[in-house]
Structure 1
Amino acid sequence: MGIRKAVGAHGKAEPRVEFDGTMWKIRSYEAATTMLRARHRTTQAGFTAEKIPRGYFRKHPILISDGDDHDAQRREVARYFAPAVVSAKYGNFIHERAQALVDRAVANGGLRLDEAALNYSVEVTAEIVGLTESSIDAMAKRLVGFFKQPPVDLAAPAMGRTRRQWAQAAVNGLMPIGRFYVRDVRPAIRTRRRRRRDDVLSHLLSAGYSTADILVECVTYGTAGMVTTREFITMACWHLLTDDDLGRRYAEASQPIRLEILEEIIRLDPVVGHLYRRAQADIEVSDNGCPHTISADDLIDVCVRETNTDPQAMGAAPDTIVPGRELERGKAATGLSFSDGAHACPGQPLALYETDALVHKLLATRPRLLREPAISWDNVIEGYRLRGLDLSLMERSRPAAAGRSTPQRGRDKPQTPAVDHSGLRMTL
């Protein structure tokens, strides 16, 4: 089966738990899950969360909030991302958008997958969040702008940035946020102030969130839904097109088996490679019976690539893709790719579902891989970027469809066959 593709000068398997004088490095799945599940004893330290000013917000953004407030926020939005809701409420929309993308690619004779996946993932996320009053293409470009940031080193003073770099980070962040607010968020807020809908933005308005609160939540959901899923789609397709046996098995399988394959792919090649927490109280973790005490105020780095290939948690051949891997109770098939504990990603069911919807339809056209993607690394989210994965669909092109435009919401939607939603399930 397949082996890891996102490789580079990243990480080491040993020692499994260590303190290097500035932060804890945790590569043991057992120790990592103990720490992540230590409720109310850690706070978010990744994504430069500790440098985000909190006095401007009536409610702390879900990404950086902790404790009871965070738990309440998660309960409130969970219903929009629950597996049953994703399939029943948004399943047809997701499959329509995936089919429209594939139809355009067939008509054009090919596509660059990472670019197509960007707009697709933004469109799906926008529908659920409620950012439906602006151009998807333009919104996607604005969201991409958030990630043009100077590098960070969380263990270094001032996170390793000079004053000039922090100033540049502010400019690079605030300008796209301003455009995102004016072009995307404000029109959506105005529409929902007049009439609520069943989406995240309407919920935030009804819950009394301020405009600043709503903006930050939309940035969080928009960027998370775009970045991780875009890379996941590209990585999954790359694996399936370069491993004939795996690709054939996926193409012929029912949805539950396809999801098992996707879970293994993201376990082996997690989009976000490190999870950072700040201890707020002493935490006892153990690995192989060896105890370690993480002291209050210590910085913690969960090395996701290493925890996800920990043989003591993942069993035989942890460095390869083994769909349906037998795991002990309490161990997620995706490893820690979607985190764990209080900050476990609520969008996991959505990410798996929309990735499967697009990749399965795309592989049904029997595409030919023209160019494998180049890998680079995003310092802010500690994840990989895949760019330049080109596919040819020339053998299946339909010239008569060349003039077909993308169906718009509410009109000219393509008819799609009945969708099997039975395979989606929560794996957190």
Structure 2
Amino acid sequence: MSTAPADRPPGCPGAPQGVRRARRPEEPQTPVVERVDAGGRAGVSTVWRLRGLQPARQLLRARYATTQAGFTAEAIPQGRLKHHPILVSDGPQHDEQRRKVARFLAPAVVTERYGDLMAQVADRTVERALRSGRCRLDEAALHYTVEVTAELVGLTESDVPGLSRRLVAFFDQPPFDIARDDLGRSRRQWARAARNGLSPVARLWWYDVRPALRARRRERRTDIISHLLDEGYSRTSILIECVTYGTAGMVTTREFIVMAAWHLLSDDALRERYLAAGQPERLAILEEVIRLEPVVGHLYRRVRRPVEITDGDQTWTLPPGDLVDVCVRAANTDTAAVGASPHELCPGRPLPSGVGGAGLAFGDGEHKCPGQPLALLEADALLTRLLLHRPRLVGEPELGWDHLIEGYWLRGFELELDPSSGSE
């Protein structure tokens, strides 16, 4: 039996409970702050790469000093929209948007309003897997997250498999270089991006958003589409928000659930600890999983006024116009912030004051993801029910990378289940 190094965090008293699986060797861990000069090239930005958790948080918390640059936000035309999409808006308007949607996503609200729904959908998901004796978890998790989050958003007038297909199709995009004004795409790539992006959005409008709007114009419900109608959002603005909530709230949560299951099914001690724990400890384990395996690996901001960041006794001033790349995977494994063995799964590791268990996996500052409570509770509801039946991992899933969200995807996650199995 292996023994723990003297500097192992308290959450890992013995052997490590798993190591990072979503690794990109081309992403260095140092330097903590790096400036990549554009060299005066037209249409190319100077880029600051922040790999330390402290300077990254300072940048993300510099209120009104930066604007959203990730998710190709700067290529999205917004001039004709009265209400900018919450994902790419900034400043006081963004603050107001977040304040108003907080009533749908606060932890207590998620538990009270959607707890029973998550339990029911999770039960149905597991029951289907038990009947067939097999489960492809990446597909089951997608339909599960879509069904739950669609209720919160208000996309309830269409079938879940169809909505799932339309949301996933949106991610079929050509690669891009975010430091270039033209994203480094050729005309052919831009044409492909338009075709692969607009076609799923058009189908999402016709089959999902349009019928949802009709239903809520007849009768408002307690969901985000009803809220947007009350706020006077146009059909176009509502469609864009539905794409935002669909991709952020459904598709990325799917990857998190699959990654968490991969870790839990690969470590008997961790799985038994998870199943025996109360919900607070289970959520802490899931936070440690997403700290180690953040689904979105990079957050991009454009500097609008000078921002000063520090690391130890070093200080840098980021000038307006420069692009900032917050390297989440590196920041979340910064030993100065998360302690020893940063690339190991160590639930319960001590963290500095103000640093959450998930690190920067859900962002920070003005654009911190408001759906963090929902993602954690969704994952817990499904995983607790699934793991009680002792599923067996048939084969390792395929891991790949998505350019649009700078994150990983997992496919082919095949499980076998015994229909006679159950909790002991």
Q: TM-score range by the shorter chain?
A: over 0.9
Letter in 2 for 1:96: Q
Alignment RMSD (CA, Å): 1.1
The aligned runs of 1:399-410 (5 Å cut-off) are: none
SS at match of 2:259: helix
SS at match of 1:371: coil
Aligned to 2:385: 361
How many residues get paired?
A: 398
2:22 is the alignment partner of 1:6? yes
SS at match of 2:108: helix
Mapped to 2, the partners of 1:130 and 1:232 lie a distance apart of 23
Q: Which moved more, 1:346-355 or 1:250-259?
A: 250-259
Aligned to 2:328: 304
Letter in 1 for 2:19: I
Q: Do the aligned partners of 2:167 and 2:251 also contact (CA within 8 Å) in 1?
A: no
The change in CA–CA distance for 1:396 and 1:160 in structure 2 (over 3 A counts) is: farther
Aligned to 1:18: 34
Aligned to 1:335: 359
Give the one of 162, 165, 169 matched to 2:193: 169
Q: Do the aligned partners of 2:389 and 2:421 also contact (CA within 8 Å) in 1?
A: no
The change in CA–CA distance for 1:128 and 1:69 in structure 2 (over 3 A counts) is: same
Aligned to 1:31: 55
Q: Do the aligned partners of 1:107 and 1:397 also contact (CA within 8 Å) in 2?
A: no
2:362 is the alignment partner of 1:345? no
Aligned to 1:248: 272
1:127-163 CA-to-partner distances (Å, cap 9, x unmatched) read: 0000100001100000111001010111134111112
Mapped to 1, the partners of 2:131 and 2:298 lie a distance apart of 40
State, as a whole percentage, how many aligned pairs show the same letter: 57
Shift of 1:397: 6.7
Give the one of 171, 189, 195 matched to 1:147: 171
1:228-277 CA-to-partner distances (Å, cap 9, x unmatched) read: 10000000000000011111100111111100100000000000000000
SS at match of 1:330: coil
Aligned to 2:221: 197
2:202 is the alignment partner of 1:178? yes
Q: Do the aligned partners of 2:362 and 2:369 also contact (CA within 8 Å) in 1?
A: yes
Shift of 1:394: 2.8
Aligned to 2:9: none
TM superposition score normalised by structure 1: 0.92
Give the one of 92, 98, 101 matched to 1:77: 101
Mapped to 2, the partners of 1:15 and 1:333 lie a distance apart of 24
Mapped to 2, the partners of 1:185 and 1:389 lie a distance apart of 31
Q: Do the aligned partners of 1:56 and 1:212 also contact (CA within 8 Å) in 2?
A: no
SS at match of 2:399: strand
2:274 is the alignment partner of 1:239? no
Mapped to 2, the partners of 1:133 and 1:224 lie a distance apart of 20
Mapped to 2, the partners of 1:300 and 1:239 lie a distance apart of 31
Mapped to 1, the partners of 2:420 and 2:19 lie a distance apart of 30
Q: Do the aligned partners of 1:117 and 1:233 also contact (CA within 8 Å) in 2?
A: yes
Give the one of 406, 412, 422 matched to 1:388: 412
1:182-213 CA-to-partner distances (Å, cap 9, x unmatched) read: 10000000000011011100000001001011
Aligned to 2:295: 271
Q: Do the aligned partners of 1:6 and 1:269 also contact (CA within 8 Å) in 2?
A: yes
Q: Do the aligned partners of 1:110 and 1:391 also contact (CA within 8 Å) in 2?
A: yes
Aligned to 1:92: 116
Mapped to 2, the partners of 1:166 and 1:46 lie a distance apart of 17
Aligned to 2:82: 58
The change in CA–CA distance for 1:253 and 1:397 in structure 2 (over 3 A counts) is: closer
The change in CA–CA distance for 1:397 and 1:240 in structure 2 (over 3 A counts) is: closer
Q: Do the aligned partners of 2:390 and 2:421 also contact (CA within 8 Å) in 1?
A: no
Aligned to 1:377: 401
Letter in 1 for 2:97: Q
TM superposition score normalised by structure 2: 0.92
Shift of 1:8: 2.9
Q: Do the aligned partners of 2:177 and 2:184 also contact (CA within 8 Å) in 1?
A: yes
Shift of 1:13: 1.0
Q: Do the aligned partners of 1:266 and 1:337 also contact (CA within 8 Å) in 2?
A: yes
Mapped to 1, the partners of 2:119 and 2:222 lie a distance apart of 20
Q: Which moved more, 1:179-188 or 1:147-156?
A: 147-156
Mapped to 2, the partners of 1:87 and 1:270 lie a distance apart of 23
Shift of 1:319: 1.4
Letter in 1 for 2:391: P
Mapped to 2, the partners of 1:295 and 1:375 lie a distance apart of 37
Mapped to 1, the partners of 2:24 and 2:271 lie a distance apart of 25
Shift of 1:316: 2.1
Give the one of 269, 283, 306 matched to 1:259: 283
SS at match of 2:301: strand
Q: Do the aligned partners of 1:108 and 1:397 also contact (CA within 8 Å) in 2?
A: no
Q: Runs of at least 4 residues of structure 1 off by over 6 A?
A: none
SS at match of 1:190: helix
